[in-house]
Structure 1
Amino acid sequence: MLENRIKNYLLLHLIVFIWGFTAILGALISISAISLVWYRMSLATVFILIYFLFKKKSLKVDKKGVFKFIFTGTIIALHWIFFFKAIKVSNVSVALVTMSTGAFFVSIIEPIFFKRRIRPLEMVLGLIVILGLYIIFSFENQYKMGIIYAIISSSLSALFSVLNGLFIKKYQANTISLYQLFFGAVFVTVYLFFTNGFSSSLFILPNIEWFYLLVLSSICTAYAFIISVKVMKYLSPYTVMLTVNLEPIYAIVLALFIFGDKEKMNPEFYLGAFIVLFVVLLNGIIKNRVAIKNKIINKNVRKK
Structure 2
Amino acid sequence: MLSDKLKSYLHFHVIVFIWGFTAVLGALISIDAVPLVWYRMLLASGFIFLWIWWKKKNMRVAPKKLLILIIAGIIIALHWLTFFGAIKVSNVSITLALLSTGAFFTSILEPLFYKRKFVGYEIIFGLIVMAGLYIIFKVETEYALGIILGLISAFLSAVFTMINGKLIAHAAPSVISFYELFTGVIAISLYLAFVTVSGDGNTGFNREFFSLSSSDWMYLLILASVCTAYAFIASVAVMKHLSPYTIMLTINLEPVYGIFLAFLVFGSKEQMNPQFYYGAAIILATVILNGYLKTKKKINKLS
TM-score by length of 1: 0.95
3-state SS of 2:233 partner: helix
1:215 aligns with 2:222: yes
User: 1:226: which partner in 2?
Assistant: 233
Give the Å deviation of 1:178: 1.1
Shift of 1:145: 0.4
Question: Residue type of the partner of 1:30?
Answer: S
Distance 2:104 2:9 in 1: 26
AA matched with 2:6: I
Partner of 1:198: 205
Per-residue Cα deviation, 1:97-138 (whole angstroms, up to 9, x for no partner)? 011111222122211111111212112111111110100100
Moved over 6 A (4+): none
Corresponding residue to 2:246 among 239, 245, 268: 239
Deviations 1:67-106 (A, max 9, x none): 1100110000000000000011000000000111112221
- Matching of residues 24-43 of structure 1 within 5 Å: 24-43=24-43
Further displaced range: 168-177 or 95-104:
168-177
Alignment counterpart, residue 278 of structure 2, candidates 271, 275, 278: 271
CA distance in structure 2 between the partners assigned to 1:86 and 1:147 by the alignment: 7
Aligned to 2:199: none
For 2:54, give the aligned amino acid. F
**CA deviation vs aligned residue, 1:191-235 (integer Å, no higher than 9, x gap):** 111112111112211111100000000100000000000001111
The residue aligned with 2:52 is 52
Aligned to 2:165: 165
Equivalent positions of 1:104-119 (< 5 A) are 104-119=104-119
Matched, 1:261 2:262: no
Segments of 5+ residues of structure 1 without an aligned counterpart are 297-304
Counterparts in 2 of 1:89-108, with a 5 A limit? 89-108=89-108
Q: Deviations over 1:255-281 (max 9, x none)?
A: 001001110000100100110110011
Q: 2:294 maps to what in 1?
A: 287
Checking the alignment, whether the CA contact within 8 Å between 1:139 and 1:266 is kept in structure 2 is: yes
Deviation at residue 18 of structure 1 after TM alignment: 0.6
Distance 1:163 1:137 in 2: 30
Residue matched to 1:83:
83
- Does the 8 Å contact 1:107/1:123 carry over to 2? no
* Structure 1 residue 43, shift from structure 2 partner: 0.5
Cα RMSD between the aligned structures?
Answer: 1.1
- Across the two proteins, how many residue pairs are aligned to each other? 296
- Aligned equivalents of 1:207 and 1:126: distance in 2? 44
Shift, 1:54, TM fit: 0.5
The whole-number CA distance in structure 2 between the counterparts of 1:111 and 1:189 is 34
Q: Percent identity?
A: 54
